Amino acid sequence: MLMNLKAVPLLLAVVMAAPAVAEQSCDDKVNATAPESRFKDAGKGVVTDSQTGHAWLRCPLGMNWNGTTCEGASTTYAWSRAQDAVADLNKKRVGGRNDWRLPSSDELLSIVEQKCYSPAINLAVFPYSPETGFWTATEDEGLINPRAKVVHFLNGKAYISNKGQDWRVRPVAGK
């Protein structure tokens, strides 16, 4: 069956206008686990979690906070390079701090918004949070390859990853 060639530009316009990323889905019947009220703006692209006392960068590494949202492109790293990138934040005193580190899996899971998915995070607090994995400092004994946990913000679950894989980084400070 041949397509009407006059319809091709219209079809392309419709496809191009569609969002490239699915919109976040949240279940309003579920209580928020990471409500916006729990996070206080500490300035310089940092928020403080009143429940845990941790400070978080609002943007993944590679991006910058412009006062409203994240700009630039987030960067992916193998685990050891992620550690180096966080050490560089401390040298630069990003957010006025020098105690940034990779979060433990429990720490990173603490900012998962369990009522939402795609991504499973509060977008008012962390406005650019791709539906992908973020490294943690929690290591896992591998039989062959060294491994560490990642928290995947598509669904807010922790998984084990080979340290040679590339994932994003959301550093934590404090406590």
CB count within 10 Å of CB 161 equals 22
Residue 13 pLDDT > 70, yes or no? no
pLDDT single digits (tens) 41-60: 999 999 999 999 999 999 99
Residue 68: name the closest of 120, 121, 113, 125 by CA: 125
Count CA atoms within 13 Å of residue 90 on its CB side: 15
**Which tokens is 156 given?**
């807010």
90: phi then psi, degrees, rounded to nearest 5: -70, -40
**Which tokens is 162 given?**
């080979």
Please state whether the peptide bond connecting residue 119 to the residue before it is cis, i.e. omega within 30 degrees of 0: yes
167 Cβ contact partners less than 8 Å away, ≥ 6 residues apart: 76, 77, 79, 82, 132, 133, 134, 135, 150, 161
Task: Find the Cα–Cα–Cα–Cα dihedral 157, 160, 164, 168, rounded to 10°.
Answer: 10
Can you tell me the distance from the alpha carbon of 90 to that of 171, in angstroms, rounded to the nearest whole number?
11
With a pLDDT cut of 90, the percent of the chain lying above it is 82
pLDDT single digits (tens) 66-111: 999 999 999 999 999 999 999 999 999 999 999 999 999 999 999 9
Residue 110: name the closest of 89, 93, 134 by CA: 134
> CATH classification of 24-173, choosing from 2.30.29, 1.10.1130, 3.30.70, 3.10.100?
3.10.100
Residues in the chain: 175
**Predicted structure pTM score:** 0.85
